[in-house]
Chains A and B, each alone.
Chain A
Amino acid sequence: MSTTSDDRSAGGIAAPAGDRGGILEVFKREPVALAAFTIVIFSMPLWIPVLGGYEGLATLIVIWGIFVLGFDILLGFTGYLSFGHAAFFGGAAYVTGFMYRDVSDNVIVAFVASQVGTLILAVVIGLLAMRRTGIYFSILTLAFAEMLFAAALSIFAPLTGGYDGMTRLQEPNLFGVKMDGLTIFYIAAAMLAIGYAMALRLRNSPFGVMLRAIKENPMRLEYTGINVWRYKMAAFIISAHYAGVAGFLMVTYEPYVATKFLHWSTSGEVVIMSVIGGVGTLVGPIIGAGFVLYFQNVVQAVIGEQWRLILGLVFVFVVAFLPGGFVDLARMVWKATGNRLRARRHNVPDMELTETKYGTEERLR
């Protein structure tokens, strides 16, 4: 599955027909990748129990899969490492919880409200944080998420339930159909499949190429006549909406809003999942999410709290030896068995402490 979609020749606008990685090839590949993806995801309730998981784990993996997929659009394509994506996940979760508790138990109402909330948050945070790059951007997003977390526990405590989280929500339903068990799983899985299809489309469109160009050389892009600011804001907002959808699904799956959803550790988990799986590969981070959640739930049940230690070791190992994540491992195996591959760079942007707006590096001859 991973090898069909992470190959660089499929990424971006490809060469005209006839050239290597031609545009026709992309159109041939995209549905294949999508079909394989959809089958694997939708059949999860069948094979997760074989691995010792339970049905709910499949739902969790799908929900976090949506979260990390959006995160990859920002980090993997555009090169912006957000440490504050919990703001969108948790923000949408709180809005959803508020709807279920005080307004309506209809999932559509909650969905719309949560996405409006996400959009407002994304625009406000984006307008300020996207002015900076590298570590400064990361810190700004972290600061915003922490502010939101603090606000939820203090000034908004009467609304949010403070440290207890948001409890006693109505049971969400779609015109009477309850969101339990496999129903919410299939809804979430469908959303993940749609999200994946959109991300694939996006990557192979001129828009996706612009985002990659932002990561490569924003100054050149601006001086090629592209409104870089609008493109990166768009990437940020799209990415936030994936997180927002995940937050909505989380509360719809389990009608309770935990304060942890807004906590920095949630932002951190997304980063870990993405890096373990393979930043910039779309499927990689989803595999990463599955891996981390599997550890958190199944492995923990077997070996207890030590799962954190083992997960930490895996993370260190991956960053040190496999900068392309699990997807790179799959590629290595593929190559070792005698298959040909195109080279792919790892996609984690090396953080620069030097702030360059546009230019000035022109001086560095």
Chain B
Amino acid sequence: MATGANGAAQDRDDILQVNGVSKRFGGLQALGDVNLTVARSSIHAIIGPNGAGKSTLLNVMIGLIEADEGEVVFDGTPLRGVSPHNIIQRGIARVFQTPQIFPGMTLLENVAIAGFSKRDGQFTVNPHQSLKRSEVMDEASAILRRVGLGGKVAEDAGHLSRGDKRRLELGVCLAAHPKLLLLDEPTAGMARHDTNKTIDLLKEIADTGVTKVVIEHDMHVVFSLAERITVLAQGRIIADGKPDEVRGDPKVREAYLGGEH
């Protein structure tokens, strides 16, 4: 809270600021006074042991969970009180820890929905549609090719493997043209070969200027992607810095790297 007030003097280069966010679930302090800034166009990793509060932090960012205290500022405007679809419309996309897709629809439809969201998200009747249906469809199939699902456009999403579902969800997120992409363990459930492909894809997306926040357990992924790493343990930030700084931090070794791996 205290930092939230001062945080108003915001850095031009920060796309996202988390100011003093706390969240309790009953007696459990899932997040305690979390302060975090994400630099524009960077890849920012959040790591920490199971139950550290990583997913909860992302949930707070997109309004899925309301913080007890503190605020999230995206692109200069606080998100408190903004409804989830409007938060997304402002340019945030989220890949969930459990893949969230439309199982009974084709891959193409899955991605096209996101393509239509800019145009039709608010359900306003606009006779002068700038975006043509065929354009959305073409882009959707281009995105599916890009995430490596180009051969399956007409298949039902529900039949995909878990790794493919994750890739599809990434495609859905890309179709919304986000400024900030939040990824909750994007490579979980993937074989090493696919993991490497995903890393390449994420790097490629980052080159287009999209900011990314990645939660990841796989240290190989973290250290090959992240420009900055934040370490959470029991809802608190115990380290925050460049990969090398974090790697050498004894607190991190103790709380996370040592304990887990």
Residues of A within 8 A of B (CB): 12-13, 15-16, 19-21, 23, 206-207, 209-210, 212-213, 215-217, 219-228, 230-231, 234, 345, 358-359, 361-362, 364-365
Contact = CB atoms under 8 A, between A and B. Distances in A.
20 contacts: A13-B133, A16-B141, A19-B141, A19-B154, A23-B134, A206-B119, A216-B102, A216-B105, A217-B102, A219-B100, A220-B101, A220-B102, A224-B117, A225-B88, A225-B118, A226-B120, A227-B83, A227-B123, A359-B59, A362-B100
Interface stretch (B6-14, B107-115, B253-261): B107-115
Contacts of B84: 222-223, 358
A231 B65 CA distance: 23
Given A222-B85, A226-B85, A226-B113, A365 B123 contact: no
Given A228-B85, A361-B98, A15 B106 contact: yes
A207 B101 CA distance: 18
A198 to B, nearest CB: 15
Interface centre among A15, A20, A231 (most CB of B within 10 A): A15
Interface stretch (B89-97, B209-217, B222-230, B234-242): B89-97
Contact of B113 (A210, A230, A362): A210
Interface string B162-183: 0000000000100010000000
A206 B116 contact: yes
B55 interface: yes
A12 B122 CA distance: 19
B121 interface: yes
A226 B83 CA distance: 11
Given A13-B109, A210-B113, A216-B105, A223 B100 contact: yes
Interface size class of B (residues with CB under 8 A): 35 or more
B123 A223 contact: no
B137 interface: yes
Nearest to B122: A227
A21 B103 CA distance: 18
A220 B103 CA distance: 11
Nearest to A343: B156
A361 B59 CA distance: 13
Contacts of A359: 59, 64-65
A210 B176 CA distance: 15
Contacts of B120: 206-207, 210, 226
B62 interface: yes
A364 B85 CA distance: 23
B179 to A, nearest CB: 12
B56 to A, nearest CB: 10
Nearest to A212: B105
Interface of B: 55, 59, 62, 64-65, 83-85, 88-89, 93-94, 96-98, 100-106, 108-109, 112-114, 116-123, 133-134, 137-138, 141, 153-154, 172, 176
Contacts, number: 120
B62 to A, nearest CB: 6
B102 A213 contact: yes
A220 B134 contact: no
Nearest to B59: A359
A213 B121 contact: no
A19 B122 CA distance: 29
A230 B154 CA distance: 28
Contacts of A207: 120
B96 to A, nearest CB: 6
B29 to A, nearest CB: 17
Q: Which of B88, B102, B138 has the most CB of A within 10 A?
A: B102
B85 A212 contact: no
Given A224-B113, A227-B122, A15 B137 contact: yes
A222 B103 CA distance: 16
B160 to A, nearest CB: 14
Nearest to A215: B104
Given A213-B113, A226-B117, A227-B85, A15 B104 contact: no
A206 B125 CA distance: 12
A79 to B, nearest CB: 10
B252 to A, nearest CB: 25
Given A16-B137, A359-B64, A359-B65, A221 B122 contact: no
A216 B104 contact: yes
A18 to B, nearest CB: 10
Nearest to A21: B154
B158 to A, nearest CB: 9
Nearest to A345: B104
Most B-side CB within 10 Å, residue of A19, A219, A225: A225
Given A221-B102, A222-B88, 11 more contacts: A13-B108, A13-B133, A15-B154, A23-B134, A209-B112, A215-B104, A216-B102, A223-B88, A223-B94, A224-B117, A227-B123
B115 to A, nearest CB: 9
A19 B153 contact: yes
Contact of B141 (A15, A212, A213): A15
B216 to A, nearest CB: 16
A225 B104 contact: no
Residue of B88, B104, B141 with highest tally of chain A CB at under 10 A? B104
Contact of A224 (B64, B104, B176): B176
Contacts of B117: 224-226
A191 to B, nearest CB: 23
Contacts of A230: 122-123
A223 B64 contact: yes
Contact of A16 (B55, B59, B138): B138
Contacts of B114: 224-225
